[in-house]
């Protein structure tokens, strides 16, 4: 797909302003879209939208489903506009911090509120509303029924991973599943109901953004969590052993100075997927593009080659490179789904075969100035060296904020940075935004933290750590008119 020269802002949904302890799909999201419009931005990028858990540190990259939406994003404000639910039905708000997400408390509160909404729906909804819910379940039956049953079983078994469930349910014996569906019918319907609410509110928000010239940029993690409805419901798509435990897990090999990484996600059985015409992946992408206009592919390298670590290995170094599906996969997707509006996260992997795969299909790669050697003229991550086929970022969800990064720069790098950007560093966040906006990169992104000049306390995620991530929030005051005007000015003069 050929992109226009554009720019946008990264802010995850959970980070948006709003009541009830977490960003949601209500007035705060609309206020953020209005901010983007006023700032002249045409792209809003966010993390994956799937349901998260405290067991995985609330990471949106370790979700219970590659198809479902996070139910805590459902707006109770918007829900109160429905004829069968009003403000009086909302449980008392215990009081939440507007600057941080307290995930456990938010989940408990939202679950109680949405359970009340479900009871109100069953008692008061008219025939049209009931039909819309039934139509959603029929339309999305390929994933929502398995997901709803997965979450119901998980609650029934006190939150245990599916690999620890009783064998006939773990191995999906048809008679056992039928018994579970009957016994847990109320919870299954409730889980489907929450997905229906998310789906309807998301589609309304997407239409609101489109009316204001803002396209939505999603995120596609290449791997899914082992404890997910995806692996439980479609085990053949993954490299599992006879006991349905991973034979190999994903990660990356050691680099100079580190021991590599073991992510623990099951790797795919690409031979099986190829034989089935990538049916599971096509369904996943079809669902994703029901929700977003463009998507970033996380760990694009895995489609070319992936590091497979034996499940019983003690070290990531014991893994091996295996060939991914490569050209065949993207050719199939393009034939079945049309244009491929993908951005490729190719950070850290610069092999020619990966570049060839990315450029063959016209996917912009990523460039981040935080990774530049500012004292080397041809450093690939200096904005002056960005190619046109790039999506350039002042910072990402995995880096420090620009102000935090700048404060930790070695003195020589800082001096070279000052020279390269003709700055004294007083407003380094705006200096870097301007350099990225002025670059040749076809797409330019910044974060809300960088627009506001926030330091490391606003960092969104620190890879390799399990706590204190994903919880930063933007307040309404952060949607500042002066900030929007300044960003619009840069966007106009650099023709984005």
Q: What is the dihedral of CA 205, 207, 211, 216, to 10 degrees?
A: 70
pLDDT tens-digit profile of 326-379? Answer: 999 999 999 999 999 999 999 987 889 999 999 999 999 999 999 999 999 999
Q: What average pLDDT score do residues 75-84 get? A: 94
Distance, CA of 448 to chain centre: 16
DSSP state of 267: P
Q: What average pLDDT score do residues 113-135 get? A: 96
Integer-rounded Cα Rg, in Å, for the chain is 23
pLDDT tens-digit profile of 384-401? Answer: 999 999 999 999 999 999
Q: Which residues are catalytic?
A: 298, 345, 398
Residue 405 in this model has a pLDDT that exceeds 80:
yes
What is the pLDDT confidence band of residue 278, given thresholds at 50, 70 and 90? very high
- Asked if residue 25 lies in contact with residue 199, where contact means CB atoms within 8 angstroms, the answer is no
% of residues, the chain, pLDDT over 90: 92
- CA dist., res. 15 & res. 12, Å (int): 5
Would you state the pLDDT for residue 32? 98
The neighbour count for residue 481, using CB atoms within 10 Å, is 10
- CA dist., res. 167 & res. 55, Å (int): 22
Rounded to 5°, angle at Cα 353 from 256 and 359: 120
- Nearest by Cα to 187 from 138, 157, 151: 151
Which position has the token pair 């499940």?
311
103: Cβ contacts below 8 Å, ≥ 6 apart: 22, 52, 54, 58, 470, 471
Would you state the pLDDT for residue 1? 65
Beta bridge partners of 323: 305
- CA dist., res. 75 & res. 403, Å (int): 33
- CA dist., res. 143 & res. 393, Å (int): 34
What is the pLDDT confidence band of residue 95, given thresholds at 50, 70 and 90? confident
What is the pLDDT confidence band of residue 465, given thresholds at 50, 70 and 90? confident
Rounded to 5°, angle at Cα 222 from 373 and 281: 145
* Phi, psi torsion values for 231, nearest 5 degrees: -75, -40
pLDDT tens-digit profile of 284-316? Answer: 999 999 999 999 999 999 999 999 999 999 899
- Asked if residue 35 lies in contact with residue 63, where contact means CB atoms within 8 angstroms, the answer is no
- Computed over every residue of the chain, the mean pLDDT equals 96
What is the pLDDT confidence band of residue 98, given thresholds at 50, 70 and 90? confident
pTM value > 0.95: yes
């Amino acid at each position: 797909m050929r992109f226009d020269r554009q720019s946008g802002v990264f802010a995850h949904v959970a980070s948006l302003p709003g009541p009830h302890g977490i960003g949601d799909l209500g007035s705060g999201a609309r206020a953020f879209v209005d901010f983007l419009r006023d700032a002249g931005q045409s792209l809003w990028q966010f993390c994956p939208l799937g349901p998260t858990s405290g067991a995985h540190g609330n990471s949106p990259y370790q979700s219970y489903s590659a198809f479902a939406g996070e139910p805590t994003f459902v707006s109770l404000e918007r829900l109160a506009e429905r004829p069968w639910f009003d403000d009086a039905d909302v449980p008392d708000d215990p009081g939440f911090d507007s600057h941080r997400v307290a995930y456990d408390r938010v989940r408990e509160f939202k679950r109680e509120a949405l359970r009340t909404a479900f009871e109100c729906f069953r008692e008061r909804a008219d025939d049209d509303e009931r039909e819309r819910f039934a139509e959603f379940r029929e339309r999305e039956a390929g994933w929502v029924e398995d997901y709803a049953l997965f979450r119901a079983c998980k609650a029934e078994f006190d939150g245990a991973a599916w690999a620890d469930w009783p064998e006939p349910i773990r191995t999906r014996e048809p008679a056992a599943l039928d018994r579970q569906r009957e016994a847990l019918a109320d919870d299954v319907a409730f889980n489907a109901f929450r997905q229906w609410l998310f789906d309807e509110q998301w589609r309304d928000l997407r239409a609101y953004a489109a009316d204001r010239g803002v396209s939505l940029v999603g995120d596609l993690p290449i791997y899914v969590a082992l404890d997910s409805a995806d692996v439980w419901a479609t085990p053949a798509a993954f490299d599992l052993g006879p006991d349905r435990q991973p034979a190999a897990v994903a990660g990356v090999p050691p680099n100079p100075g580190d021991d590599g990484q073991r992510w623990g996600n099951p790797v795919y059985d690409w031979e099986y997927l190829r034989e089935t015409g990538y049916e599971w992946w096509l369904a996943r992408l079809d669902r994703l593009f029901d929700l977003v206009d463009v998507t970033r592919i996380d760990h694009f390298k895995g489609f070319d080659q992936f590091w497979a670590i034996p499940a019983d290995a003690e070290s990531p170094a014991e893994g091996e490179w295996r060939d991914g599906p490569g050209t065949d996969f993207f050719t199939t997707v393009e034939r079945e789904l049309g244009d491929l509006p993908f951005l490729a996260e190719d950070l850290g992997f610069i092999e020619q075969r990966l570049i060839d795969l990315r450029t063959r299909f016209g996917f912009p790669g990523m460039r981040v100035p935080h990774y530049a050697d500012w004292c080397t003229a041809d450093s690939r991550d200096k904005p002056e060296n960005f190619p046109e086929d790039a999506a350039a970022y002042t910072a990402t969800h995995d880096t420090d904020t620009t102000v935090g990064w700048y404060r930790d720069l070695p003195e020589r790098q800082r001096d070279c940075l000052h020279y390269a950007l003709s700055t004294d560093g007083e407003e380094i966040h705006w200096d870097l935004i301007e350099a990225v906006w002025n670059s040749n990169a076809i797409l330019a992104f910044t974060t809300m933290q960088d627009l506001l000049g926030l330091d490391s306390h606003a960092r969104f995620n620190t890879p390799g750590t399990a706590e204190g991530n994903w919880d930063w929030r933007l307040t309404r005051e952060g949607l500042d008119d002066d900030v929007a005007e300044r960003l619009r000015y840069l966007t106009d003069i650099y023709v984005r």
